[in-house]
């Protein structure tokens, strides 16, 4: 069950501390950047650049929320916080205090804008801003799991096209169409004195990608998919092996354009296995195979890029403001970025929290990632309803994603089945009121707390039930239709079923789950 909670996010976090303390696996937040342009409210007032306590107010605002966030994380949990350079330094120091310096993982630089569209610069003396930053902390570094693979995967032809659009040179444009007949002509040795065998490749055929397209009448994309493992770039590799091969080729008087070698490396990813390399021309330019940096997954060829701390998303921000079929002009994050963060966590049955939910991008990303890899992740999103954002943006977007939608340009998006429960959190005035005067107002919402903590939905679900009073228990037992279908019954902590009621519950195999007394105790203390 996924949840959207409307209300002040500090109140939402305090609520979650009752239901999800130590249960959240991954948190992603995109808090106010404190730009001074009406993006940050403190004590009901916008904080502008002229406020002398601008940074102090932001730190005070974030401190309570980050301590609450830490209490919600599992011992293996991680938090990702996206921010601009305005509060980056303050946030780093604050997070070192809240989470501990030893639990700092990385600062990721995310390129979100092309320089032409970036802010700053021009008549200003500063460089243009095109990067945002993501701080990554663990709850407990020694217990956190290794993130999924060190690679980012991108479909190969989309990479080729992206290079073309950005005016970059894509070098994997040669194809070894025929490997040729292998003919041994001599040996040399590596630095350890181990043998390197050398072979002529008679009748080997190399063509450009464009030649293959013309000869076979197929598209560029089809060439990459047909010959992906045979496509290469010829490189002037700086290695002692290549130098020895050049010298050996001269020694044996070999003039063939293409030769190959076989040897057993002592180090590297091919350590201990017989390894083959191809070389081209008098300078013995090494064949760098596209297959070495790509992988076939579910019939698609993906380029594998080692993940570092610089992530480029400039090519994926087109039409971002309308993602999810909801207009959200400022601060919207691409779901590809959020999917990447979510997919880093090695377990695909986790709970993801975003308590600055904005347009709901995190929820959208969780649903999409589940569809993509068959995961069973759940999300909890928290946001206020300032300017109708929760009801008119966040909820509408999630509803669109779940039900499917068509854009104004006629592009259809298929439904992504998922659950969603909408809660609203608010404060009940208690000043000058005795506890018994407002207790009933609090107890009315025990059901929602149970749903939230256990990820269940009592509405329209006959297999689970909840009784909080003796009257409700009597009514439940008296209704044969209700208990005949019920498999689990949540029961108020102070209820004592009679012997007859216990007999009925046992007869029908109904599991009893006692609602923790801390629900009630914390309500009274609050």
Domain of residue 454, residue span: 435-525
Cα–Cα distance, 364 to 130 (Å, whole number) = 25
Between 79 and 58, the more confident residue is: 79
**64 and 174 share one domain:** no
Contact 330, 317 (CB under 8 A): no
Tens of pLDDT, residue by residue over 238-270, are: 889 999 999 999 999 999 999 999 999 988 778
Of 373, 402, 424, the position where a domain reaches its end is 424
- Residues pairing with 514 in the sheet: 491
Of 273, 305, 337, the position where a domain reaches its end is 305
In a domain, 430, yes or no: no
Q: How far is CA 103 from CA 143, 185, 403, in A?
A: 10, 57, 40
Cα–Cα distance, 239 to 261 (Å, whole number) = 14
**7 and 129 share one domain:** yes
Note the helical H segments in 183-306.
209-216, 220-227, 240-251
Mean pLDDT, residues 423-431: 70
Residue 234 predicted with pLDDT over 90: yes
Cα–Cα distance, 466 to 459 (Å, whole number) = 11
**146 and 233 share one domain:** no
In the chain, the percentage of residues whose pLDDT exceeds 90 is: 53
Cα–Cα distance, 336 to 313 (Å, whole number) = 9
Number of domains in the chain: 3
**248 and 167 share one domain:** yes
Residue 438 predicted with pLDDT over 80: no
Residue 356 predicted with pLDDT over 80: yes
Mean pLDDT, residues 179-191: 94
Q: What is the pLDDT of residue 48?
A: 61
Q: What is the pLDDT of residue 153?
A: 83
Tens of pLDDT, residue by residue over 129-153, are: 889 999 999 999 999 998 987 677 8
Between 49 and 205, the more confident residue is: 205
| Structure token pair of residue 121 | 């610069």
In a domain, 429, yes or no: no
- Residues pairing with 466 in the sheet: 490
In a domain, 177, yes or no: yes
Instruction: Calculate the CA dihedral of residues 515, 517, 523, 524 and round it to 10 degrees.
Output: 150
**414 and 456 share one domain:** no
In a domain, 485, yes or no: yes
**167 and 247 share one domain:** yes
| Structure token pair of residue 97 | 């205090």
Of 255, 289, 305, the position where a domain reaches its end is 305
**175 and 282 share one domain:** yes
Whole-number average pLDDT of the chain: 87
DSSP 180-204: -EEEEEEEEE-TTS-EEEEEEEET-
Between 336 and 267, the more confident residue is: 336
Please provide the size of the chain in residues.
Answer: 526
Mean pLDDT, residues 480-487: 82
Mean pLDDT, residues 92-117: 89
In a domain, 244, yes or no: yes
| Structure token pair of residue 297 | 């997954």
Pick from 133, 81, 135, 78: nearest CA to 106 = 135
Q: What is the pLDDT of residue 20?
A: 93
Tens of pLDDT, residue by residue over 386-414, are: 888 899 999 999 999 999 998 888 888 89
In a domain, 378, yes or no: yes
Mean pLDDT, residues 28-37: 83
Q: What is the pLDDT of residue 72?
A: 97
**452 and 343 share one domain:** no
**241 and 258 share one domain:** yes
In the chain, the percentage of residues whose pLDDT exceeds 70 is: 87
Contact 354, 382 (CB under 8 A): yes
Residue 526 predicted with pLDDT over 50: no
Residue 322 predicted with pLDDT over 80: no
Residue 116 predicted with pLDDT over 60: no
In a domain, 463, yes or no: yes
Q: What is the pLDDT of residue 170?
A: 95
**117 and 70 share one domain:** yes
Model confidence at 124, pLDDT cuts 50, 70, 90, reads: low
Cα–Cα distance, 388 to 333 (Å, whole number) = 19
| Sign of the Cα pseudo-torsion (332, 336, 340, 346, in order) | positive
Residue 343: strand, helix, or coil: helix
CATH number at residue 420: 3.40.50.150
Contact 13, 355 (CB under 8 A): yes
In a domain, 449, yes or no: yes
**198 and 333 share one domain:** no
Residue 200 predicted with pLDDT over 70: yes
**143 and 260 share one domain:** no
Q: What is the pTM of this model?
A: 0.71
Give the full edge-to-edge strand order of the sheet including 151-155: 151-155, 300-306, 294-297
Cα–Cα distance, 63 to 48 (Å, whole number) = 20
| Structure token pair of residue 343 | 């997919």
Q: What is the pLDDT of residue 525?
A: 45
Residue 428 predicted with pLDDT over 80: no
The gap between the terminal CA atoms of the chain, to the nearest Å, is: 27
| Structure token pair of residue 181 | 């007949």
Find the radius of gyration of the CA atoms of the chain: 30
Q: What is the pLDDT of residue 38?
A: 58
Note the helical H segments in 37-195.
54-72, 88-99, 156-165
């Amino acid at each position: 069950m996924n949840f959207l909670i409307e209300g002040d996010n500090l109140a939402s976090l305090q609520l979650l501390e009752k239901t999800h303390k130590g249960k959240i696996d991954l948190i992603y937040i995109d808090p106010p950047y404190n730009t001074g342009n009406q993006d940050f409210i403190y004590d009901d007032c916008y904080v502008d650049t002229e406020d002398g306590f601008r940074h102090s107010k932001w730190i005070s605002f974030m401190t309570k929320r980050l301590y609450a966030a830490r209490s919600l994380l599992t011992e293996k949990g991680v938090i990702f916080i996206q921010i601009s350079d305005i509060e980056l330094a303050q946030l780093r120091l604050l997070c070192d205090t809240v989470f501990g310096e030893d639990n700092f993982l990385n600062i990721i630089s995310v390129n979100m804008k092309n320089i032409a569209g970036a802010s700053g610069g021009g008549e200003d003396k500063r460089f243009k801003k095109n990067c945002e930053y993501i701080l990554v902390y663990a709850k407990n570094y020694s217990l956190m799991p290794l993130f999924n693979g060190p690679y980012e995967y991108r479909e190969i032809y989309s990479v080729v096209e992206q290079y073309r659009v950005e005016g970059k040179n894509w070098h994997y444009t040669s194809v070894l169409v025929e490997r040729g007949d292998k003919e041994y002509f001599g040996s040399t040795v590596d630095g350890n004195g181990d043998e390197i065998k050398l072979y002529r490749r008679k009748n080997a055929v190399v063509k450009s990608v464009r030649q293959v397209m013309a000869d076979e009448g197929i598209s560029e994309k089809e060439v990459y998919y047909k010959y992906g493992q045979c496509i290469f770039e010829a490189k002037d590799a700086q290695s002692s092996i290549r130098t020895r091969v050049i010298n050996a080729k001269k020694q044996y008087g070999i003039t063939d354009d293409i030769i190959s070698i076989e040897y057993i490396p002592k180090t590297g990813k091919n350590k201990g296995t017989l390894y083959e390399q191809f070389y081209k021309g008098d300078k013995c330019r090494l064949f760098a195979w596209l297959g070495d940096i790509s992988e076939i997954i579910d019939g698609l060829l993906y380029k594998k890029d080692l993940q570092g701390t610089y992530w480029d998303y400039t090519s994926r921000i087109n039409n971002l403001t309308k993602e999810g079929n909801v207009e959200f002009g400022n601060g919207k994050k691409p779901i590809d970025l959020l999917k990447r963060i979510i997919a880093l966590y090695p377990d695909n049955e986790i709970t993801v929290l975003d308590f600055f939910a904005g347009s709901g991008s995190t929820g959208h990303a969780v649903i999409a990632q589940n569809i993509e890899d068959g995961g069973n992740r759940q999300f909890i999103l928290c946001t206020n309803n300032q300017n109708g954002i929760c009801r008119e943006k966040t909820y509408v977007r999630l509803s669109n994603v779940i039900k499917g939608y068509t854009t104004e340009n006629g592009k259809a998006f298929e439904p992504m089945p998922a659950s969603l429960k909408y809660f609203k959190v608010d404060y009940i005035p208690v000043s000058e009121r005795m506890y018994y005067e407002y207790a009933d107002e609090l107890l009315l919402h025990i059901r929602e707390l149970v749903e939230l903590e256990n990820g269940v939905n009592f509405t329209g679900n006959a297999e689970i039930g909840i009784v909080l009073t003796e009257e409700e228990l009597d009514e439940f037992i008296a209704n044969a239709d209700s208990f005949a279908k019920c498999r689990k019954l949540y029961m108020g902590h102070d209820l004592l079923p009679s012997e007859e009621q216990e007999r009925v519950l046992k007869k029908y195999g109904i599991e009893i789950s006692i609602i923790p007394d801390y629900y009630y105790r914390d309500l009274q203390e609050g």
